[in-house]
């Protein structure tokens, strides 16, 4: 049911090459970037989020929760930037959709945030993807142990790939919505998914093999084999990260060579997200 594919972008702003089990984003949007440094994430006293700690195995990590205590839970997985303003915007949005959800952001980077492309790439390169999947598993379990009868997973870019992977690797997940990201075969095979999956891609996305049209088609073929309910949606005229519609998000996308703006596409995607999660997370 992948639809809306009519053309591909004439200018490739990025390439993506899988490595086991992660990915390396190779940007060609600027000749140079500031030297790598990592800034710790700042917490605002006016933040709507409750900061918690979740333990798994011998590891403890921070997570950020917003929404009604007894609402269906949704783990919201970060982009390659880390737990920054945009993923928090998405979590707040999710908590307010429909009758409300309880959104939880696990901090996969352990307090670090990349403020430019070079930093984000460095953080992504250092991510243990299997460990990140375990963080998501622990987050789903925390939601179910703390008021949510059912729990789903969503994610964007890097988080989108991890969301799809969670449909294979996280036994307790009840539904998944992934935005522009497909996991490597070394991490998870979507043909083995056990939870309903909805996925969203931009027609002009040029992250080759990760979230471009070909990757979206490949994901759809795998989901057909799985036998679980699925939807794969393609949005004409938009590139990667088209859900990032905040003023700061738009500015950052433009600086990365993605000047497209389509509020209607994001609105439609949120509507489909809400319908999917409501259908599968209703008690």
Report residue 45 as tokens: 């006293």
For residue 39, the model assigns a pLDDT of 53
Q: pTM of the full predicted structure?
A: 0.88
Distance (Å, rounded) from C-alpha 227 to C-alpha 39? 43
Question: pLDDT by residue (tens digit) across 61-81?
Answer: 999 999 999 999 999 999 999
Distance (Å, rounded) from C-alpha 171 to C-alpha 264? 34
Average confidence (pLDDT) over 10-22: 35
Handedness of CA 133, 104, 140, 249 (dihedral sign): negative
Q: Which residues contact 224 (CB under 8 A, 6 or more apart)?
A: 230
Name the 3-class secondary structure at 159.
helix
User: Is the pLDDT reported for residue 149 higher than 80?
Assistant: yes
Q: What's the topology of domain 15-27+41-281?
A: Rossmann fold (3.40.50)
User: Is the pLDDT reported for residue 134 higher than 60?
Assistant: yes
In terms of Cα–Cα distance, which of 173, 168, 174, 155 is closest to 78?
155
Report residue 64 as tokens: 């950020």
Q: Where are the domains of the chain?
A: 15-27+41-281
In terms of Cα–Cα distance, which of 182, 129, 130, 173 is closest to 152?
173
For residue 244, the model assigns a pLDDT of 96
Average confidence (pLDDT) over 23-40: 43
Least confident of 8-22, 63-77, 106-120, 225-239: 8-22
User: Is the pLDDT reported for residue 5 higher than 80?
Assistant: no
User: Is the pLDDT reported for residue 32 higher than 70?
Assistant: no
Average confidence (pLDDT) over 54-59: 95
Question: pLDDT by residue (tens digit) across 197-246?
Answer: 999 999 999 999 999 999 999 999 999 999 999 999 999 999 999 999 99
């Amino acid at each position: 049911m992948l639809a809306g594919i009519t053309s591909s972008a004439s200018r490739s702003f990025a390439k993506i090459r899988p490595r086991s089990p992660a990915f390396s984003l190779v940007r060609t949007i600027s000749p140079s970037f500031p030297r790598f440094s990592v800034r710790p994430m700042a917490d605002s006293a006016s933040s709507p989020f409750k900061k918690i700690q979740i333990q798994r195995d011998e590891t403890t990590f921070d997570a950020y929760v917003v929404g009604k205590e007894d609402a269906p839970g949704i783990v919201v997985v970060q982009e390659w930037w880390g737990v920054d303003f945009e993923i928090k915007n998405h979590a707040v949005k999710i908590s307010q959709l429909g009758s409300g959800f309880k959104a939880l952001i696990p901090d996969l980077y352990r307090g670090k945030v990349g403020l430019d492309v070079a930093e984000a790439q460095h953080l992504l390169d250092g991510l243990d993807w299997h460990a990140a999947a375990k963080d998501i598993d622990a987050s789903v379990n925390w939601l179910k142990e703390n008021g949510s009868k059912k729990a789903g997973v969503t994610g964007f870019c890097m988080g989108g790939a991890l969301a799809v992977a969670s449909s294979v690797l996280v036994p307790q997940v009840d539904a998944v919505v992934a935005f522009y990201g497909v996991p490597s075969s070394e991490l998870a095979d979507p043909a083995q998914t056990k939870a309903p999956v909805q996925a969203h891609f931009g027609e002009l996305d040029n992250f080759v093999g990760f979230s471009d049209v070909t990757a979206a088609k490949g994901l759809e073929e795998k989901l057909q084999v799985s036998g679980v309910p699925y939807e794969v949606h393609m949005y004409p005229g938009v590139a990667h990260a088209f859900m990032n519609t905040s003023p700061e998000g738009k500015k950052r996308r433009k600086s990365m060579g993605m000047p497209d703006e389509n509020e209607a596409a994001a609105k439609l995607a949120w509507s489909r997200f809400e319908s999917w999660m409501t259908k599968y997370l209703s008690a």
